Amino acid sequence: MTPQERSSIENGIWLCSNCATKIDVDEQRYPIDLLIAWKRKAEDRAAAESGRPPSVHSSSLLLASVFGAMPTKDALNGIPNVHDAADSFLNSIDPRLRVRTSYVDSQLTCEVRALENVPAKIFVPPSIRENWASGFDQLINHGKDVALPADGIEITGSPLFDALFSSIKLTDVKITRDNKKPAILKFEMFNTESGQHEQFYDFVGYASAGNTSVFFDGSACSKLLRATVNFPHQEPTGSAALGISIQYPVWNDRNVNELPYFEKIHSFFEHLRSHNLKLTLEIQGLHIATLEGNLFNNSDQIRTTLSILHYVSYARKISSYMDRPVVFSSGYTISEYFFKELFDAVETINGVRAYDRSSITSNPSLNIVANDDCDNISFLRNIKNYTIVYRELENRRIFPFGQEISMPQLEMRLDDVTPVLRKDASTISAGDVVHIELIMNENFRLSFNYSDKNNNLNIEP
């Protein structure tokens, strides 16, 4: 082979330095025919992809390979550089608009702000027009930000919109107002019957004005509580659109006895059921509006929230009583059964799980195995106005927030009962299971407690 043939492009193949060395030193493993086949395959692939933009996957692989060759510091600096480059490119499409991108949890977000009036048209398909009409009413008349479904919509009026719609599939569109002002909502509660008055923490957030009302959105208690409310420009004719919610994930993975602001928030929702409210909106120290009266009309929400808070308070009591940590989880589903389970446990701990004759519709009963001489059965036939204490053989397990706790032995105490045998005593033999009815006398009382004793049945005069 002449020097000209050796250096010609027909005899060349692009390789990295490592692969080039391997090929040069191992001619048997890498024959000429194999190298020519590699070259032709690479050229064909390049020709097929010519003029086509790289796929998202290919771009990710390219960036990964570039970052992998960098020191860690330079690779980390490359992340904001990629965003800056993407933003610069998008901003160059239409100088009337400014774009900022973010990518979190596999979700691409493009924030578009107008620097001047930009005439635009939005085509909304019939299936979601009602959603958009309601959303624009909230945005324009009440100053609320809105999130709207984007399936099938088209926005025209800027080449930037064309570029975005051709490159990504929109799942939703969030439209926000630019006239938001830092604001404070002062929250007072008062009971007209008792005269009780309480001022809660201030809610800190923002306010934005619509055509008919001013909308406030803010939080208190280190963002555990969120409040939203509309202050009408005119005197309100009905209850205000007030919303109060707990941001439960803030408590996740914490011991239930160490939840910040729990007692304060629990008391706050208890007061919402029986107190009138006075809400005062201030912007930069200036009084803007006041609402007063029975403003919170969502009683279902109060009941649901209080049920959750009661459940947490039960878990706190059990955790302290058993000296066992219980961890809060906002993803746990509280069923009626598990709620009653914790309620009964706490009533038992507090010594108030008790019932009189009026609470029980029929006489209680028990089953006793006759001993060898059947004298335990004979003994029961001859007693009146006794106390019977029964202890369960196995300790009950309860599951606050799905975490198992084995409680002490449950003791059931029946005061002032008379055992009655509804069977001929002469027919009873050793080992028989005998059903005994317990007649409730005048001072009857059934109570439950936790016990550390080992015997299962006591009969006391």
- Same domain for 146 and 246, yes or no, is no
CA 334 to chain centre: 13
Residue 401: per-residue pLDDT: 96
Do 428 and 403 lie in one domain? The reply is: yes
Examine residue 274 and state whether it is found in any structural domain, yes or no. yes
The mean pLDDT of 411-418, rounded to a whole number, is: 91
Q: What is the pLDDT of residues 314-347, one digit of tens each?
A: 999 999 999 999 999 999 999 999 999 999 999 9
* Residue position matching structure tokens 């195995």: 369
Q: Do the beta carbons of residue 242 and residue 279 sit within 8 Å?
A: yes
Amino acid occupying residue 340 = K
CA 10 to CA 343: how far, in whole Å? 85
Q: Compute how many other C-beta atoms are within 10 angstroms of the C-beta atom of residue 383.
A: 13
- Domain membership flag for residue 22: yes
Same domain for 104 and 24, yes or no, is no
Question: Final residue of a domain: which of 159, 175, 191?
Answer: 175
**pLDDT given at position 215:** 94
**Is 279 domain-assigned?**
yes
Task: Output 345-352 pairs: Cβ under 8 A, ≥24 positions apart.
Answer: 345/314, 345/318, 345/398, 345/407, 346/314, 346/317, 346/318, 347/448, 348/410, 348/448, 348/449, 348/450, 349/317, 349/318, 349/321, 349/450, 350/317, 351/447, 351/449
Are 217 and 295 contained in the same domain?
Answer: yes
Select the more confidently predicted residue: 333 or 71: 333
Q: Is residue 65 part of a domain?
A: no
Q: What is the pLDDT of residues 181-227, one digit of tens each?
A: 999 999 888 887 777 788 888 999 999 999 999 999 999 999 999 99
> Residues 192, 279: one domain?
yes
pLDDT classification of 51: cutoffs 50, 70, 90: low
**At how many degrees (to 10) do helices 159-167 and 72-93 cross?**
130
CA–CA gap between residue 268 and residue 419 (Å, rounded)? 50
Q: For position 151, what pLDDT does the model report? A: 87
Residue 143 and residue 215 in contact, taking contact as beta carbons nearer than 8 Å? yes
The count of C-alpha atoms lying within 13 angstroms of the C-alpha of 39, restricted to the half-sphere facing its C-beta, is 14
* 305 in the same domain as 251: yes
Q: Regarding predicted confidence, which is higher, 315 or 30?
A: 315
Burial (CB count <10 Å: 0-12, 13-18, 19+), residue 5: exposed
Which of 33-37, 233-237, 290-294 shows the lowest mean pLDDT across its residues? 233-237
Residue 54 is predicted with a pLDDT of 56
Q: Which of 5-14, 100-109, 273-282 has the lowest mean pLDDT?
A: 5-14
Predicted confidence (pLDDT) at residue 59 exceeds the cutoff of 60? no
Domain limits at 91? 76-175
Of 175, 200, 226, which residue is a domain's last? 175
Answer whether residue 54 is part of any domain: no
Q: What local confidence, expressed as pLDDT, does residue 25 receive?
A: 83
pLDDT band at 251 (very low <50, low <70, confident <90, very high): very high
Domain assignment present for 298 = yes
**What CA–CA distance (Å, rounded) separates 228 from 216?**
5
Quick check: is 64 in a domain?
no
Q: 156 and 191: one domain?
A: no
Q: Which of 13 and 227 is assigned the larger pLDDT?
A: 227
Measured CA to CA, the distance from residue 38 to residue 202 in angstroms comes to 71
Residue 168: the pLDDT is 77
Distance (Å, whole) CA 362 – CA 359: 9
144 and 138 Cβ atoms separated by less than 8 Å: yes
* pLDDT band per the 50, 70, 90 thresholds, residue 55: low
Q: How many CA atoms lie less than 13 Å away from 87 in the CB half-sphere?
A: 17
Residue type, 446: L
What pLDDT, on a 0 to 100 scale, did the predictor assign at position 167? Answer: 75
Q: 365 with 455, same domain?
A: yes
Mean pLDDT of 89-106: 88
Residue 31 is predicted with a pLDDT of: 85
Nearest to 400, CA basis, from 315, 305, 280: 315
Percentage of the chain lying above the pLDDT 70 cut: 89
CA separation for the pair 205, 58 (Å, rounded): 43
Judgement on whether residues 373 and 400 belong to the same structural domain of the protein: yes
Number of domains in the chain: 4
pLDDT tens for residues 377-410?
Answer: 887 777 788 888 888 888 899 999 999 999 999 9
Q: What is the pLDDT of residue 178?
A: 81
Q: What's the whole-number mean pLDDT along residues 146-151?
A: 90
Q: Are residues 156 and 231 in the same domain?
A: no
pLDDT tens-digit readout, 363-377: 998 888 889 888 888
Summary mean pLDDT of the chain:
85
Q: What pLDDT, on a 0 to 100 scale, did the predictor assign at position 1?
A: 65
Query: Both 297 and 185 in a single domain?
Result: yes
Q: Is residue 157 included in any domain, yes or no?
A: yes
**Across 18-25, average pLDDT:** 82
Q: What is the spatial distance between Cα 239 and Cα 235, in angstroms, rounded to a whole number?
A: 11
| Residue 64 confidence class, pLDDT cut points 50, 70, 90 | low
Confidence (pLDDT) at 449? 92
Domain boundary among 141, 175, 209: 175
**Domain match, 198 and 160 both:** no
